[in-house]
Chain A
């Protein structure tokens, strides 16, 4: 096995890693923000909104990421009459798919804070918004850490699927190198290593942080 193919193309592959990180970060941030709004809408919105949100969330549990990405890149431009760069399509598709997951994490986290906490805060005269902000969310954030660790891991793994719509992230760049050099074993084994080195510390890191702060979330 000849791993020089890696060193020969390292710049090309490295550019892929940069795009992977950029896409992960961007879609992670936007889906968490969107997920938070969706979660609030589900918990405090009017009935029709809640029903629509539940439908959206459950639909994302049924439809694969691949399908959402492909539809966003190929079909959405037809419907909306626009053109879309692959990266942007991937960002939108990933956000739509992941926001549902994030919304569920938020909902579970907030609901897991004991109702006695809210009652105690109400008894002190706090408003609902204050309670959410100062009492419930801080505890919920700690409780949600492990779930968001998984979320981050899933986000990074999902960016690899964006290779299917020609986003030049690391998976795609690896495919290209492999196609040119006819050394798939070296290239894909290296890719496995890179993704592992990227993902393993993420989940472990979240674990470590959680263990330190877990006591802050227990009531």
Chain B
């Protein structure tokens, strides 16, 4: 290195801010999943079992949000949602809404694929016992589908954790935003950006490994 002076103490000095921001990141992840899992199930059910216009609408929703960049959805939500809903939403709420819209679409696809992957023979065996469609769903299909869906949900969680960084563009005080603010204030670019990367790494790495474990544990072999 050519005579640059590094001052890593900036990270320590701003630790309270960074910890709070990390908390926001974690909270955003949890809150988004708390919304997107049940909503994803509903949308998947609509796609599979509702009558035609509703099925089409649900499919359109899923295809739309899987085929536009999340960062654009964040911006779009920031400007459009207040007008559509008539509410003055905080950046945090807007960010949460954008993330939820996005992850719900992905989860809907996950649940739909999970439900469809159950062999037809299982449904027939249930029907041969005299079960109704609902009973077959509840007792035979969904318990099996849940097992298939769990590893994918874990993977979606890991991606979501990273995606929360994108709401920084609308000034939500999560980790990426706060780290970059501190950088701007203190001019300690290398230190702050490296610290930001390191914090994401420290939190994200174990989550990725956990997702791997879930994948191994619940992997379905036919």
A192 touching B72, Cβ below 8 Å: yes
Q: Would you call B204 an interface residue if the criterion is a C-beta within 8 Å of the partner chain's C-beta atoms?
A: yes
Q: Would you call A157 an interface residue if the criterion is a C-beta within 8 Å of the partner chain's C-beta atoms?
A: yes
Interface residues of A in 49-69 (CB under 8 A from B): 58-59, 61-68
Given contacts A59-B201, A61-B204, A161-B71, contact A188 B79 (CB under 8 A): yes
A184 nearest CB neighbor, chain B only: B79
Q: Would you call B2 an interface residue if the criterion is a C-beta within 8 Å of the partner chain's C-beta atoms?
A: yes
- Seen from chain B, the residues whose Cβ lies within 8 Å of a Cβ on chain A are 1-2, 4, 63-64, 67-73, 75-76, 78-80, 83, 158, 162-163, 165-166, 168-169, 176, 180, 183, 189-190, 193-194, 196-197, 200-201, 203-205, 207-209
Beyond A78-B4, A175-B75, 8 additional contacts (C-beta under 8 Å) are A58-B208, A63-B200, A71-B194, A75-B190, A161-B69, A184-B78, A191-B76, A192-B72
A62 nearest CB neighbor, chain B only: B204
Chain A residues contacting B64 (CB-CB under 8 Å) are 192, 196
A61 → chain B, closest Cβ, in Å? Answer: 4
B189 touching A62, Cβ below 8 Å: no
A32 → chain B, closest Cβ, in Å? Answer: 20
A66 touches which of B2, B4, B176, B208 (Cβ 8 Å): B176
Q: Which A-B residue pairs are the 3 nearest by beta carbons? A: A62-B204, A160-B69, A184-B79
Chain B residues contacting A189 (CB-CB under 8 Å) are 76, 80
- Seen from chain A, the residues whose Cβ lies within 8 Å of a Cβ on chain B are 58-59, 61-68, 70-71, 74-75, 78-79, 81, 153, 156-158, 160-161, 163-164, 171, 174-175, 178, 184-185, 188-189, 191-192, 195-196, 199-200, 203
Q: How far is the CA of A196 from the CA of B194 in the complex (A)?
A: 34
Given contacts A58-B205, A58-B209, contact A74 B196 (CB under 8 A): no
Chain A residues contacting B194 (CB-CB under 8 Å) are 71, 75
Q: How far is the CA of A192 from the CA of B169 in the complex (A)?
A: 17
A101 → chain B, closest Cβ, in Å? Answer: 11
A6 → chain B, closest Cβ, in Å? Answer: 15
B197 touching A63, Cβ below 8 Å: yes
Chain B residues contacting A78 (CB-CB under 8 Å) are 4, 189-190
B72 touching A64, Cβ below 8 Å: no
